[in-house]
Amino acid sequence: MMLSPPFILYLYLLAPCYWAFICQNTEPSSEFSMDGDYTIAGFFRLHSYSTTVKSRPEVDICDNAASVNSHGYHLFQAMRFAIEKINNSSSLLPNVTLGYEIYNTCSESANMYATLSILAQSRQHHVEVLSNFTHYQPKAVALIGPDSSQFTLTTAAILSILLMPEISYEASNEMLSLKRAYPSFLRTIPSDRLQVEAVVLLLQEFGWNWIAMVGSDDAYGKNGIKTLQEVVAKHDICAAYQGIIPTKGGASSPELKEMVRVLVGTGVNVTVVFSNVDSAKDLFDMVVQENVTEKVWLGTEAWSLASEVWSIPGIHRIGTVIGLSVKQAKLPGLEEFESAHASSEKSKVATCAPDLGADGRGGGTSSNESTSQGCNQICTRCHSLTSAPQTFDIWTSFNVYSAVFAVAHGLHHLLGCCSGACSKDKVYPWQLLEKIKQVNFTLQKSQVHFDANGDPLTGYDLVMWKWTGQTWSFDVFGSYLQNPDRLNIGQAGLLWHTKDNQVPVSTCSKVCVKGEKRMQVGLHQCCFNCVACPTGTFLNSSDLYNCQPCGTDQWAPVGSEICFNRTTEFLSWADPVSWALLTGITLLLLLLAGTAALFAQNLTTPVVKSAGGRMCFLMLGALICACCSLYCYFGEPTWHTCLLKLPVFSISFTICLSCIATHAFQIICIFKLASKWPAFYRAWMSHNGPNLFIGACTAGQVVMCLVSLSTSPSVPRKDYKTFATLIIFQCSEDNAVWVLLYNTLLSICCFVISYMGKDLPENYNEAKCITCSLLINFVCFICFLTTYFFYQGKYMVAITVLSNLTTLSGIFGGYFLPKGYIILFRAELNTTEHFQMSIQSYTTKRSSD
């Protein structure tokens, strides 16, 4: 294992510090160090941080003036308790005795000094600077601690040179999970990243998106707030205020007082306090002084159950406190262990108390030795900590307990103890590290295992503070588990310190109702106005600030969260309206076919001849073709039906109209124009005028249809614009107006010509019938155009069919039906004599006029 130049330089600079402050006496055993085959070091904070300003760099002596930290005391007793359990075990390290050296890391300098101390080789007081530490055997094989992330970042960086296993019980900074920087670091407390995820889920659970966040002025607080800000920004949660709790001046600091006032001025009701115990105590001292009430305070595991905080006088008035804590754990026997050692420690105060020397490690003398021989005594008050550990102490003590057992299990496998006896070979730190990373065992019904980053596979308990008068307690109302990340919360029975015990609200804006998007107001996304999404758009839950358009085949009402599929409509064959129209079309076809057969049987009779003779069959055939084209309007439009229906009907109807006009014109020529303009009449007859007129009219319509199909063919088209909720599936007929206009002009021509023969003989007078038929045609056309402009839908096709069917029925009823009636029921009128008498009567009347 090669040592990088920066680390060599680091050790060169720090090694003199070790020699400068080392105790010069020998090291007799004490209650805080114990010999063994293999030694485990422990770093615990037994005193408060020293705030004394020093004129020159020196190691903090953690002297008697500093207050004793009861939490740290219980933790280091948990380590001693764990080692005693292991040494008394017959299955774990059966013939091996573990020793320990416990250091008081009450300050950064004491922590650094302790780190260098455990790197020294056994029975030596210095650290050798080598280019390769593969075979270097330091005093301790592993380290338990320290407690703070700030201290741990330094310790983990130095111990990584030797790859010495370090298992922290309270350092949760997520940077420590970076194995590239801290390859030998592990922990029994979850990473702050996991804690942040739990806080965010908790905020979401209660609908709090307008919060403040404050942190302690150390690595734990600063990195925690930074990570929290990054995560909440991804979940539409806004921080109205971010601050660092000042350490200078403590609870009476003017800066802290101003910070609390600004915090209250933001108007937020929920504050996340990502802090160590000392800074949290200062903050809440000031919160109580400023009489801040009815707020929600979310605490991290570092202080949520700490007695230093909940014992502040008047803190029960600040509102609701919810916190995360390490998972519940029981450590049977710890209280009895502490009680058993308390009396023996108390008895040694008179001579050399169970002290931690200037080097931060137990170095007291035995009772028959002079106290002057020992190092500075800084734990003379430890004997007074005889109170039982509280819940917070026990739960955290289990982290220490499981860390010691993880080292023991790793050592158990390294020494080959599974065979029944341990080898007691030399143990190098890097060897033990590999084994500790692989441990997986159950301890007090809890699984102890480390992931690839050295983090435990565990979660948090959710706790809520509870007050009964001045008496403090707490309830565990839920838990946070990872893989996958989820909260398990039982909200029933939660006691909120608000009116009517309602969940506090902490939002910048009111909650928008379903289908309303957020219009941001100001700098924060959580401050917004609510605007309903317009028709045809919907609000996607993944983007609450923009309305998303629906698909082409979808629709949405105003203020919708989803889109609905549009209904595609066309005139189906099964529609009752279709049945009625199809019945009419079929009936008309049968009448036309029957009339053609009737005329064929009576082709030589005067009635058929006066109706046009063989031309009647052309007219009837055209009407039959036009009638058949109406079937193309039913059912789902296809390419063939769209192309055929309009040209077939238009051309057929043109043939019929041109035949009517020709027949009417011929009768007029016979009775009126033959005598006045004989030359014109002869030319008309000699040049086959009727056929030319019919052919010319038909050719014009054919050309117009071809042009229409080539420029803008009629094809199936879906209409998405007319109705918001429907798709009208029909044929496009953009140029149909020209075809209809052509037939309209031809109808007018027929009407004029037939009207000119209104005074002809009765048997040859077609004016009344034709006029009636064409009037029906005009009325149908006008009604169709009117409906077209005021209604669009699937029944527009039905209206078109009805209009065309009525027009065809009018032609048939006005022109052919009277003649068929005479043939069938008035045979006496279908004789040559009757027609001759009608002509004579007309001639006589004209002569008299």
Residue 529: what are its φ and ψ, rounded to 5°?
Answer: -105, 160
Residue among 86, 104, 106, 105 at smallest CA distance from 96: 86
**Domain CATH code at residue 164:** 3.40.50.2300
Q: Could you give the CA distance from residue 220 to residue 585 in angstroms, rounded to a whole number?
A: 88
Q: Mark whether 627 and 520 lie in a shared domain.
A: no
What backbone phi and psi angles, to 5 degrees, belong to 480? -120, 130
In this structure, are residues 158 and 8 in contact, taking their beta carbons and an 8 Å threshold?
no
Residue 309 located in a structural domain: no
The C-alpha atoms of residue 733 and residue 711 are separated, in whole angstroms, by: 11
Q: Is residue 240 part of a domain?
A: no
Token pair recorded at residue 143: 């380290």
Indicate if 441 and 534 belong to the same structural domain. Answer: no
751-758 long-range CB contacts below 8 Å, 24 or more apart? 753/661, 753/664, 753/665, 753/668, 754/660, 754/661, 754/664, 756/664, 756/668, 756/672, 757/664, 757/667, 757/668, 757/671, 757/672
Residues 549 and 653 in one domain: no
Domain identity same for 388 and 413: yes
What is the total count of domains within the chain?
3
**Are 122 and 139 spatial neighbours (Cβ–Cβ below 8 Å)?**
yes
CATH code: domain of residue 762: 1.20.1070.10
521 and 412 in one domain? no
Q: How close are the terminal C-alpha atoms of the chain, in Å?
A: 139
389 closest CA partner among 324, 335, 461:
335
Domain boundary pick from 528, 545, 565: 565
Q: Is residue 757 part of a domain?
A: yes
d(CA 554, CA 677): 69
* Pair 529, 580 in one domain: no
Does some domain include residue 307?
A: no
- At 148, list the tokens: 């703070």
The DSSP result for 750-762, as a single string, is HHHHHHHTTTS-G
Please state whether the peptide bond connecting residue 484 to the residue before it is cis, i.e. omega within 30 degrees of 0. yes
* Alpha carbons 524 and 526: distance in angstroms, whole number: 5
Within 712-766, where are the H helices?
A: 736-756
Q: What is the pLDDT of residue 352?
A: 35
Residues 545 and 431 reside in one and the same domain: no
3-state secondary structure of 258: helix
**Cβ 739 vs Cβ 654: under 8 Å:** no
Cβ atoms 632, 649 nearer than 8 A: no
- Do residue 677 and residue 808 come from a single domain? yes
Please report the pLDDT score of residue 405 as a whole number: 96
> Among 545, 565, 585, which residue terminates a domain?
565
The torsion angles phi and psi of 280, rounded to 5 degrees, stand at -65, -40
| The predicted structure's pLDDT at residue 174 | 87
User: What 3-state DSSP class applies to 36?
Assistant: coil
Considering the domain architecture, whether residues 793 and 659 belong to the same structural domain is answered as yes
> Cα Rg for the chain, rounded, in angstroms?
52
Same domain, 556 and 639: no
What per-residue confidence (pLDDT) applies to 22? 40
Judge whether 301 lies within some domain: no
The structure tokens listed for 729 are 């599936």
Residue 541 domain boundaries: 516-565
Within a domain: 247: no
Q: Distance (Å, rounded) from C-alpha 271 to C-alpha 280?
A: 12
- Give φ, ψ of 142 to 5 degrees: -160, 165
Among positive and negative, which fits the CA dihedral 519, 521, 524, 528?
negative
Do 521 and 603 fall into the same domain? no
d(CA 108, CA 43): 12
> Cα separations (Å) of 783 from 443, 777, 796?
91, 10, 12
Question: H/E element holding 157?
Answer: helix 149-159
73 and 54 share one domain: yes
How far is it, in rounded angstroms, from Cα 155 to Cα 113? 10
Q: Is there a contact between 358 and 59 (Cβ–Cβ < 8 Å)?
A: yes
**520 φ/ψ angles, rounded to the nearest 5 degrees:** -60, 140
Q: How far apart are CA 499 and CA 487, in angstroms?
A: 26
The DSSP line for 523-576 is: S-TTSEEEEEPPTTEEE-TT-TTSEEEPPTTEE--TT-SS-EEPEEE---TTSH
pLDDT average per 10 residues of sequence, the chain (849 residues): 42 41 35 86 81 59 66 90 93 93 88 89 73 85 91 93 93 90 94 91 91 92 92 88 87 88 91 93 93 92 89 90 87 84 53 38 35 36 61 86 96 90 90 94 90 90 86 88 80 78 87 88 86 92 88 90 89 90 93 91 84 85 92 89 87 88 73 60 70 86 85 84 85 74 82 68 61 78 78 83 88 84 81 68 57
The type of residue at 671 is F
Pure H helices in 174-324: 192-205, 219-232, 254-265, 277-289, 307-310
* Under 8 Å between Cβ of 672 and 730: no
**CA 587 from centroid of its chain's CA atoms:** 62
Cα distance between residue 539 and residue 537, in whole Å:
7
